């Protein structure tokens, strides 16, 4: 069941939501764990409606995704606490998606190259990718839906004549 955003005036346009995903450095990935939900910070790259993650081939995250490929993740672009206003000026994106383990070697290489361009710009990653290609797992997340949201104070600044 898809829920509508309760504070719909604070919803970001899709172009800004995409920009936050493109420029973000880390996300918090939320999975269905054993007894409790499991959330873990992780680096990612966003490309053409997909989010790519790299991981070791074994571990809690991999086990959870094999059991249930449905997930959510959150990217926070802005998180400024404003004590005198008892609030936080934030901008963030929440993604709901489905994970797939990438098996094809060229797809893995392509995802690793995108990750390297984002996190190690200007450095040739060929040797590093070759060294770890067999042991790394690439997770391709198809985005089912996503929403971007900002603090009402930021929305008011964007639209000077708007009201709550």
Local confidence pLDDT in tens for the 164 residues of the chain: 566 766 666 778 789 899 999 999 999 999 999 999 999 999 999 998 999 999 999 999 999 999 999 999 999 998 878 899 888 888 899 999 999 999 999 999 999 999 999 999 999 999 999 999 999 999 999 999 999 988 667 777 765 544 44
What architecture does CATH give domain 10-154?
Answer: Roll (2.30)
- 18 Cβ neighbours under 8 A, 6+ residues apart: 46
pTM: 0.86
DSSP letters of 44-75? -EEETTEEEEEEESSSHHHHHHHH--EEEEEE
**How is the chain split into domains, by residue range?**
10-154
- 164 Cβ neighbours under 8 A, 6+ residues apart: 9, 152
Separation CA 114–CA 112 (nearest Å) = 5
């Amino acid at each position: 069941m898809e829920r509508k955003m309760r504070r719909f005036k604070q919803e970001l346009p899709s172009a800004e939501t995409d920009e936050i995903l493109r420029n973000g450095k880390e996300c918090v990935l939320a999975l269905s764990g054993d007894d409790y939900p499991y959330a873990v910070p992780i680096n990612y790259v966003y490309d053409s409606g997909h989010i790519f993650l790299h991981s070791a081939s074994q571990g809690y995250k991999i086990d959870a995704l094999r059991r249930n490929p449905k997930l959510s993740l959150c990217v926070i672009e802005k998180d400024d606490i404003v004590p005198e206003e008892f609030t936080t000026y934030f901008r963030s994106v929440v993604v709901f998606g489905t994970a797939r383990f990438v098996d094809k070697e060229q797809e893995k290489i392509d995802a690793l190259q995108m990750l390297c361009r984002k996190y190690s710009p200007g450095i040739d990653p060929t040797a590093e990718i070759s060294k770890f290609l067999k042991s790394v797992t690439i997770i391709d997340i198809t985005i089912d839906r996503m929403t971007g949201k900002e603090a009402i104070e930021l929305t008011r600044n964007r639209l000077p004549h708007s009201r709550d």
